[in-house]
Amino acid sequence: MDVTVSYEEGLIIAGIAGRFDVHSVEAFRDAVLERIDAARPNVVVDLSQVDFMDASALASLVNTLKATMAHHGSIVLANVSESARIILELTRLDQVFDQIEATGEAQRELRLAA
């Protein structure tokens, strides 16, 4: 798995490519979860390049949601791949996370909510 992270106007923008599983959640946590604070409470996670997700990846996303909420922020999943969408639907986490088709649209939504 590859994780890319950028920062923009109070947002953490993360892109994940490949397998998002037990072997890669630590990289996600180091790149994203530990950087959420009052200055950057909102996270956009681009899942367009994810070809596999397991329970540890879902737990990592839930932990990210909790961390953003602790700083009065939010998380948006953008460009959710078909394989990621199926896992989110099976676990009903699709009802917990906001999902948007475009990363730029997710960024605008989070800025408007702030």
Angstrom distance (rounded) from CA 114 to CA 105: 14
Number of folded domains that form the chain:
1
**pTM, rounded to two decimals:** 0.87
* Pairing of β 75-78 and β 2-8: unpaired
Q: Report yes or no on 64 lying in a domain.
A: yes
Q: Report yes or no on 67 lying in a domain.
A: yes
Q: Report yes or no on 114 lying in a domain.
A: no
Q: Report yes or no on 32 lying in a domain.
A: yes
User: pLDDT grade, residue 34 (50/70/90)?
Assistant: confident
Task: Please tell me the predicted confidence (pLDDT) of residue 8.
Answer: 82
Q: Report yes or no on 98 lying in a domain.
A: yes
Please give the residue range of the domain that contains residue 85: 2-107
Which carries the bigger pLDDT value, residue 14 or residue 108?
14
Task: Please tell me the predicted confidence (pLDDT) of residue 106.
Answer: 60
